[in-house]
Amino acid sequence: MRFTILTENRESNCNCINEDGLSIYIELENKKILLDAGITDAFMKNAKVLGIDLQEIDKIVLSHGHWDHGNGLKYINLKKTLILHPDAYTKRYSLLRNMAFGGINQTREELKEKFDLIETKEPYQIFENVWFLGQINRRFEVPKENAHTVLENNEKDYLYDDTGIVVKLEKGIVVFSSCSHSGINNIIEQAKEVTRDDRILAVVGGFHLKKLNEYTNKIIEYFSSNNIKVAYMGHCTSDEVIQEFKNKLKGTTKVTTLYAGAKFEI
């Protein structure tokens, strides 16, 4: 399988636009999935630069209802299936951006008109070897700096809509998690459960790790004890944390940094 980072926080080396959001194009043998769409139409412009024809998308998945992952959906004019958690339309406001709207810029009705919606809290099999993970069972604690959006009534936003995708290959599984508000370890556990496979070839996405602290250390230990072969890290993951992963997981997990336009093959 292959995946391309259509847009991401980090700068590209290929005339692609980077923005503080995420969009990943996943290509399996004969199926193509768009995971998130970033903030603007940057992901579409970059797809053109990279020679990717987005008409070929089979399914679209939204990882969670944050603006930096869902606003780009507005630019898609293809009648495709969009899979998401029913809470992804939650109205939420950003504590980090002066209470600016932090949800997605389209209502359920608008999305319903445009896409064939599949809204599910349960894991959902997208293709023979691909699953939308559904609401994540939070058996381990979630990231400390998670509460950067609040609900309309000012209550804490637990982001229960945050989820990911798992792809099962012959040699093991590949887990995609865009923002990991549910905890990357919880997401991986759910992926193992859904696929009944604990051979983790790779974990791709934003891990929501910003600082070197006890929580980050626990995640690093989790990667080590689960024998995760490759970590492709970006978006809401700081350079400092990526470096720490590299230092501590030397010889066990290969650590690669994501950037807009990056292509990878597994």
Q: State the minimum distance, in angstroms, from the CB of residue 235 to Fe ion.
A: 6
What are φ and ψ of residue 62, in 5° steps? -105, 125
Stretch that binds Fe ion, among 66-74, 90-98, 102-110, 113-121 (CB under 5 A): 66-74
Left (φ > 0), alpha (ψ -120 to 50) or beta: where does 114 sit?
A: alpha
Cα 249 from Cα 15, distance rounded (Å): 32
Q: State the minimum distance, in angstroms, from the CB of residue 206 to Fe ion.
A: 6
Q: State the minimum distance, in angstroms, from the CB of residue 192 to Fe ion.
A: 23
Q: How many residues bind Fe ion (CB under 5 A)?
A: 3
Cα 42 from Cα 40, distance rounded (Å): 5
Q: State the minimum distance, in angstroms, from the CB of residue 149 to Fe ion.
A: 8
66 near Fe ion, judged by CB under 5 A: yes
244 near Fe ion, judged by CB under 5 A: no
The residue among 66 and 138 lying less far from Fe ion, judged by its C-beta, is: 66
Cα 67 to Cα 89, 97, 124, 143, 233: the distances in Å are 10, 12, 23, 19, 20
The residue among 133 and 201 lying less far from Fe ion, judged by its C-beta, is: 133
The residue among 6 and 201 lying less far from Fe ion, judged by its C-beta, is: 6
The residue among 129 and 237 lying less far from Fe ion, judged by its C-beta, is: 237
Cα 159 to Cα 10, 36, 85: the distances in Å are 24, 16, 10
Q: State the minimum distance, in angstroms, from the CB of residue 198 to Fe ion.
A: 27
68 near Fe ion, judged by CB under 5 A: yes
The residue among 21 and 172 lying less far from Fe ion, judged by its C-beta, is: 21
Q: Are 152 and 99 in contact (CB under 8 A)?
A: no
Q: Which tokens belong to 77?
A: 């004019």
Q: Which residue is nearest to Fe ion (CB)?
A: 179
Q: State the minimum distance, in angstroms, from the CB of residue 234 to Fe ion.
A: 10
The residue among 66 and 168 lying less far from Fe ion, judged by its C-beta, is: 66
Cα 123 to Cα 3, 84, 138: the distances in Å are 22, 10, 14
Stretch that binds Fe ion, among 10-18, 62-70, 131-139, 195-203 (CB under 5 A): 62-70
Q: Which tokens belong to 71?
A: 């606003």
Kind of pairing between the strands at 100-101 and 81-84: unpaired
Cα 90 to Cα 40, 107, 110, 254: the distances in Å are 20, 9, 14, 36
179 near Fe ion, judged by CB under 5 A: yes
Residues near Fe ion (CB under 5 A): 66, 68, 179
